[in-house]
Amino acid sequence: MEHETNKDRLRQTAERLFAARGYDAVGIREVVETAGVTKPTLYYHFGSKQGLLDAIFAGHYQQLLAVLGDASGYDGDLLKTMKQLVTAYLTYAGAHADTSYLQLAMTYLPISHGSASIITPYAQQLQQFFVDLFTAAVPEHGNLRGHEQVLALSLLGVLNNHVILLLNGKVPLTEQSVESLVKQYMYGIYVL
């Protein structure tokens, strides 16, 4: 039980520190001292600082994808599905601010950055989730065929920007704000 407590404490401490100052700016020493454990404890549970980051993202993306999967069962009504999906994404981000900040900071790193390789497979899983959603809508919305990838990426860009605004208190998370965001995404400038 003590091992699990230390493991959780390390993960939570690292999430908070990495989100606040950036992964590269926080050293192992600071993580273990703040968590109140030793370096060997970190190495035992995670192998390295990168292993710790990987564990954070593994848990984060598993939860996020489960939440999105529960919220977005496509039943032929794309507008309804999009509202449910956007609400779930933003609600999850609001409830997991540290990991969401960290996710966004790491998502937009240059691919050549050493840490980018840690988040890339998780980011690709999230992108594929959105591609699959648009692919499922193709039978009712044939105009989406062949555009699933760009639609997924553009939706993620809109959502990620909105997450930053939400977490920084610039926009609220309300039914009205979700509806406005979804309509803006789906119909563009013609609905303003």
pTM to 2 decimal places: 0.91
Q: Are the CB atoms for 19 and 97 separated by under 8 Å?
A: yes
Ordered structural domains, the chain, with CATH? 1-47 (1.10.10.60), 57-191 (1.10.357.10)
Per-residue pLDDT of the chain (192 residues; tens, 9 = 90+): 455 699 999 999 999 999 999 999 999 999 999 999 999 999 999 999 999 999 999 999 999 999 999 998 888 899 999 999 999 999 999 999 999 999 999 998 898 988 899 999 999 999 999 999 999 999 999 999 999 999 999 999 999 999 999 999 999 999 999 999 999 999 886 655
Sequence-distant (6+) residues with CB within 8 A of 39 are 28, 29, 32
